Amino acid sequence: MNRITWLFQFLVLLAGVSLTARAELGIETVTTVERLPAAHPYRLYYTDVALPHLPDGKLVIIDGRTMKVEGMVSTGSFAQTTVSPDRSEIYVATTYYTKLNRGERFEEILVYDANTLALKAEIPYPARHSQSLPYLATLRTSADGRFIYVQNASPASSIGIVDRQLEKMVTEIQTPGCFGLYPAQNALRVATLCGDGTMLTISLSADGMPIDKQKSPEFFDPTNDALFVAPAQDGDVYYFPSFMGDIVKVDVGGEVAKPTDRWSMASKNEKRQGWRPSGFQPIALHVDSGTLYAGVHSKGYEGSHKDPMQEIWIFDVKTKKRVARSKTPAAFGLAVSKGAAPRLFAYNTEHSSIIAFDGLRKLKKVAEKAGFGDTPSQLETQ
């Protein structure tokens, strides 16, 4: 037998063995869906717009005690995310294109089960939700979870009202010159921040239709001291940081939004040194203790409001006094867990990292981990 004949017979034999082995493999079927570990106050929802490859946005669920990833859901391009008030569902307003990054644009509100991460619903939505970095004020819900509020920008600004029960958008409310979603807690209302220094409050009927629109008097200077769009919330009250370092307290529970207080975070000398808030989520509030955390940087200038934080200043909201200040690795946002033993989390978009602090008002760094994505810019807690 020559070498060529032997090699041919060997390959035929090998192919037969391979086909026999392949035929023995059964068809796999999935019979169960794994659940996330039991929910806890330190669960984190970290939204990554994935700027280097936009169609691959994602939301990563992280155990803030161990810094281990518990799960992940796909969010598509330029998605905005939020979690239902009872933390049972995750909502995603997202964009898809027929040719991945071009072609016909269409949008949906995705509804994920927060316990299994299974996709529960795909709610059709007009192709005009805000294609921005994820912010806390671009996708929200009513206090009872019945309605999902969507910030639109086409570039005209409007608010989409989506009925979660009916799984459809029930109306779109034009809000020219206003941006950001600030729902009331004790009434079916949503307010929005306006470029003329006011707030617009929209009251809704039981079926989500607008029944009243009222503008507040001017209460901030949008040219010289604008407000960040990501405030901290305590019921109907929102704490807005200003670019120059004030805290502006606004009550959105009534038919007209009412600013109720304003105070400076920095002393006169600190203002001369240029200490200002910065980042995508510059403040966080632990409601039960009345502790407000503000991320700040020094040597501020026009346009530095997105620079990384250098320190975290801690305030008592009742006395409006700073009670501590703590250095932090460079960070772009803050979030704090609820409950009697809160943990403060600071995140860094450039490194996709999270830093954890214990101690309430005497912060102590207890953990830090990077590599949770590409360009995450929003963090929510359970």
* Sole residue written with tokens 């316990």: 115
308-330: pLDDT as tens digits: 999 999 999 999 999 999 999 99
Q: What is the pLDDT of residues 80-90, one digit of tens each?
A: 999 999 999 99
Please check the confidence at residue 8 and state whether its pLDDT lies above 90. Answer: no
Q: What is the pTM of this model?
A: 0.91
- The answer, yes or no, to whether residue 106 has pLDDT greater than 70, is yes
Say if residue 46's pLDDT is above 60.
yes
The pLDDT-based confidence of 6 (bands split at 50, 70, 90) is low
In angstroms, what CA-CA distances link 330 with 176, 291, 347, 348, 350? 36, 21, 8, 7, 9
* DSSP H stretches of helix in the chain: 3-24, 268-272
Opening angle at CA 340, ends 336 and 344, nearest 5: 20
Q: Which of 2-6, 261-265, 296-300, 314-318 has the lowest mean pLDDT?
A: 2-6
Single out the residue of 245, 249, 269 nearest to residue 258, CA to CA. Answer: 249
pLDDT digits (tens, 9 = 90+) for 166-193: 999 999 999 999 999 999 999 999 999 9
Span 131-135, average pLDDT: 93
How much is the pLDDT for 101? 85
Q: How confident is the model at residue 22 (pLDDT cuts 50, 70, 90)?
A: low
Q: CB under 8 Å, gap of 24 or more: what pairs does 65-70 form?
A: 65/40, 65/343, 67/354, 67/356, 67/367, 67/368, 67/369, 69/372, 70/36, 70/37, 70/43
How high is the mean pLDDT of the chain? 94
- At 209-249, the pLDDT tens digits run 999 999 999 999 999 999 999 999 999 999 999 999 999 99
Our CA angle for 106, 110, 113, nearest 5°, is: 165
**How high is the pLDDT of residue 27?**
76
Is pLDDT at 20 greater than 60 in this prediction? no
The rounded distance, in Å, linking the Cα atoms of 202 and 172 is: 12
Residue 26: pLDDT band with limits 50, 70, 90: confident
Homologous superfamily of 135-260 in CATH? YVTN repeat-like/Quinoprotein amine dehydrogenase (2.130.10.10)
Measure the N-to-C terminal CA separation of the chain; round to a whole number of Å.
73
**What is the CB-side half-sphere exposure of residue 84 using CA atoms within 13 A?**
19
